[in-house]
Amino acid sequence: MEKNEMIEKMVTILADEFEVETSEITADAPIKETLHLDSLSLVDMVGLVDEEFGVTIQNSEIATIRTFGDLYEFVYTRLA
């Protein structure tokens, strides 16, 4: 999968699942605040990334993923 393709898919999936506008999901935007995540829905986001991209975010890694840009990098480098 090309990086742009991955980003487009990610934006669509997250906007749909968390009911936000795709325009709000930008590389610099903070994930938790933009998607209004609490402790439970954060786990839903991680589960969604796992299901849609086959990439698992470990508990020890979640703190390093603050913006959508961080998430794109994390997932793209681990795509099979």
How many residues sit in the footprint of another protein (CB under 8 A)? 13
Among 36, 51, 54, 78, binds another protein (CB under 8 A): 51
Task: Considering only the stretches 2-10, 26-34, 46-54, 66-74, report the one whose residues sit in contact with another protein under the rule CB under 8 A.
Answer: 46-54
Closest CA to 39 of 53, 19, 59: 59
Q: Does residue 64 bind another protein (CB under 8 A)?
A: no
Q: Phi/psi zone of residue 24: left (φ > 0), alpha (ψ -120 to 50 degrees), beta?
A: alpha
Q: Does residue 23 bind another protein (CB under 8 A)?
A: no
Structure tokens at 53: 């991209």
Alpha-carbon distance 34 to 25, whole Å? 7
Interface with another protein (CB under 8 A): 39-40, 42-44, 46-47, 50-51, 56-57, 59, 62
